[in-house]
Structure 1
Amino acid sequence: MKLKLGILDQSPTTRGGSSLQALKNSIDLALFADEAGFHSVIYSEHHGVEAYGSSSPEILSAVILGKTRHIKVGTGGIMMKNYSAYKIAEWTKMLGSLYPGRFILGLGKAPGGLKDAVSALNNHRPVILSSQETKLEEIIQYIKEEKGIYGGLIAQPENLAHLPEILWLGSGTQSAREAAKHGVGYSYADFMGEGPGAESTETYLNEFERNQYSSTPSLQVAVAVSVADDVKTARYNAYGMAYQFLQSRHIQAPEALLPAEIIEQRILGSEDEEEFFKILSHIITDIPRNISGRLQEKAQKYDTDELLILCNMYKETDRIDSYKSIILAN
């Protein structure tokens, strides 16, 4: 099965580096991905976190769309509780009209940062914890130019030739049901390693409503991968990514990517050692000649042909080499 391979780019920073360099790396990676034949590149949203350089995936998407020719570009995702449905719909329609068929609106329900960041984003007001599904409904109404909560209010620009693709991000069956109910795509975060797995994606495919936003389901699975000339090096290159996942599970702001040697010093013999290596084992680590088979296995598990690949490495050259190996193998 020929896979549609995308890149999940969190614009990772490294110890001793800068967020500006991380953004420049993201631009270089997108230019490579466009020429190499990747299907998409998706940008995440993080606030007040040292580990990631991009706080505005919609702006980064606009920059990348202007610099590339073929690849689909999108957000993965906009953290909805921090913004109005109307504003999200406006810039979605703008990017969708300027780059028809190439922009993907990925939406998430997570806060996108720790407590202080979320408070600042909401102008120091208490975060409204109403249903984010309701906000999704409102966004769809604005994009499709249907009568909504404000009657005849329009979101410019009007009369799009193509409706932009919408992806609902999640890691559980509830998110899968919400995506299916509204006829939007579903992006399952396998890399988080804590969700229900295939149960979630089966729910989406089985319950998809074809008479809603889109007539056909679109299932994407995001996986963490590290490829190197030998398995030991591939595992070492994934240490930084695994350590950031560990910190996130403990509700800590992830640090910038660290060398494997420093992580080993922190982990070995600590109370987090077992959990760290369990997280590491969930990352696909392998050599170039095996990676295609490993990805095919993951795609078959979830009954999809679209994978989104996350490769956060301490050395940017290792990250690029992983993506090169993956696309060449496919």
Structure 2
Amino acid sequence: MKLKLGILDQSPVSHSDSSAASALVNSINLALFAEEAGFHSIMYSEHHGVMAYGSSSPELLAAIVLSKTKRIKVGTAGIMMRNYSAYKIAEWAKLLATLYTERFMLGLGKAPGGLKDAVMALNNHKPVTLSNLETKLEEIIQYIREEKGIYEGLIAQPTQIKNLPEILWLGSGMTSANEAANHGVGYSFAAFMNSDNGRDVTENYLKEFDETKYASKPSLQVAVAVSVAENSEQAKRNAYGMAYQFLQSRQLVSPEPVLSADMIEQRILGTKDEEEFFTVLDRIIWGNSQSVFHQLQMVSERYQTDDILLLCNMYREEDRLNTYKNLIENNK
């Protein structure tokens, strides 16, 4: 079965380079490759105050890539809502949806997008108001659909757009699935973060989806982490750097640029973190191109969707690109 393969690009910085500028150039080049190779979509994440990722502004990167491509869908995965007003998000989302009809996807997330100091700086050095982010989603939808909102008569330009942007609610649990279903928006499930009860979560989204709200039918996307190489052992070792970043995030430590497998073994083996590291590593799908693609087909069947988003951060950019090249070739 042919899949709708997409790319989740975090603009990873490698320890071999340690340059955000190089990571951003890689992101642009990856988008151009993805367009030519036939990928369905490419989406950009948001991170603040960390050395691991080169982009802090997925909406800007999405706009640049939209201007350089003609077919591929481009989006945010996602905008960290607690750091911005609903009104401003709706304004630039409508602008991109107007200029790039049916190509821009607005992915929204509830995570802070960075550690404490970064979040404080984003919020004018004030503690974040832990308001209901579901309410902010409602406000964004009101501004996009030009419905009556908090401020009487307030418009979000551009108005009267012909095609509303597709909205994806990011999450990895039942609460986010229910929220997406209740508001009739798409749901992007982060299986690389939580696959234990993933099928229950996504089935609930599909079952409870309200077709009377924003969209007329559900749109389920599943994000997985992958690593492809000529043999399974090399693919596994190529995935070490990504797994170590995941581990650091779980431990609320600022992720470092992608390290080599040798560096990580020196840090991990024989320490208290060894068991947890390999547990995290097991969430990544690795192997040769045929075996990984077969597992992606199994993911598609398990979650009842053909929309699969691929995340791959590696020490060497050529290994990351090779992973995407091999998987899209198997999808033809």
TM-score, normalised via structure 1 length: 0.99
* Secondary structure in structure 2 of the residue aligned to 1:73: strand
Supply the AA of the counterpart residue of 1:11: S
What is residue 209 of structure 1 aligned with on the other side?
Answer: 210
Q: CA deviation at 1:197?
A: 1.2
Number of aligned positions between the proteins: 330
Q: CA deviation at 1:289?
A: 2.1
What is residue 26 of structure 1 aligned with on the other side?
Answer: 27
Q: Deviations over 1:216-242 (max 9, x none)?
A: 100000000000000000001000000
Q: Deviations over 1:129-184 (max 9, x none)?
A: 01000000000000001111112100000111101000000000000000000000
* Secondary structure in structure 2 of the residue aligned to 1:31: helix
What is residue 159 of structure 2 aligned with on the other side?
Answer: 158
What is residue 3 of structure 2 aligned with on the other side?
Answer: 3
Q: 1: CA distance between counterparts of 2:263 and 2:161?
A: 51
The 5 Å alignment of 1:1-330 reads 1-15=1-15, 16-193=17-194, 196-330=197-331
Q: 2: CA distance between counterparts of 1:159 and 1:265?
A: 58
Does the CA contact (< 8 Å) of 1:172 and 1:195 recur in 2?
no
Q: CA deviation at 1:194?
A: 6.3
Supply the AA of the counterpart residue of 1:4: K
Q: CA deviation at 1:246?
A: 0.4
Supply the AA of the counterpart residue of 2:96: L
Q: 1: CA distance between counterparts of 2:54 and 2:241?
A: 16
Q: CA deviation at 1:299?
A: 1.1
Q: 2: CA distance between counterparts of 1:261 and 1:98?
A: 46
Q: 1: CA distance between counterparts of 2:258 and 2:291?
A: 26
Supply the AA of the counterpart residue of 1:13: V
Supply the AA of the counterpart residue of 1:6: G
Supply the AA of the counterpart residue of 1:308: L
Q: 2: CA distance between counterparts of 1:198 and 1:263?
A: 32
Supply the AA of the counterpart residue of 1:196: N
Q: CA deviation at 1:22?
A: 0.4
Supply the AA of the counterpart residue of 1:322: T
* Secondary structure in structure 2 of the residue aligned to 1:212: coil
Supply the AA of the counterpart residue of 2:185: V
Q: 2: CA distance between counterparts of 1:194 and 1:301?
A: 11
Q: 1: CA distance between counterparts of 2:52 and 2:252?
A: 14
Spell out structure 1 runs of 4+ moving beyond 6 A.
Answer: none
Q: 2: CA distance between counterparts of 1:305 and 1:65?
A: 23
Supply the AA of the counterpart residue of 2:189: Y
Q: 1: CA distance between counterparts of 2:195 and 2:256?
A: 21
Q: CA deviation at 1:325?
A: 0.5
Q: 1: CA distance between counterparts of 2:152 and 2:324?
A: 47
* More moved, 102-111 vs 300-309: 300-309
Q: 1: CA distance between counterparts of 2:239 and 2:269?
A: 16
Q: 2: CA distance between counterparts of 1:329 and 1:251?
A: 37
* Secondary structure in structure 2 of the residue aligned to 1:276: helix
* Secondary structure in structure 1 of the residue aligned to 2:324: helix
Supply the AA of the counterpart residue of 1:255: E
* Secondary structure in structure 2 of the residue aligned to 1:5: strand
Gaps of 5+ in 1: none
Q: CA deviation at 1:295?
A: 0.4
* Secondary structure in structure 2 of the residue aligned to 1:47: coil
Q: 2: CA distance between counterparts of 1:322 and 1:155?
A: 41
Q: CA deviation at 1:195?
A: 5.7
Does the CA contact (< 8 Å) of 1:291 and 1:329 recur in 2?
no
Q: 2: CA distance between counterparts of 1:291 and 1:320?
A: 15
Q: 1: CA distance between counterparts of 2:196 and 2:147?
A: 35
Gaps of 5+ in 2: none
Q: 1: CA distance between counterparts of 2:139 and 2:240?
A: 41
Q: Deviations over 1:84-136 (max 9, x none)?
A: 00000000000000001000000000000000000000001121101000000
What's the % identity of the aligned pairs?
66
Q: 1: CA distance between counterparts of 2:29 and 2:129?
A: 38
Q: Deviations over 1:272-313 (max 9, x none)?
A: 111111111110001012222110011111111110000101
Q: 1: CA distance between counterparts of 2:234 and 2:166?
A: 37
* More moved, 281-290 vs 50-59: 281-290
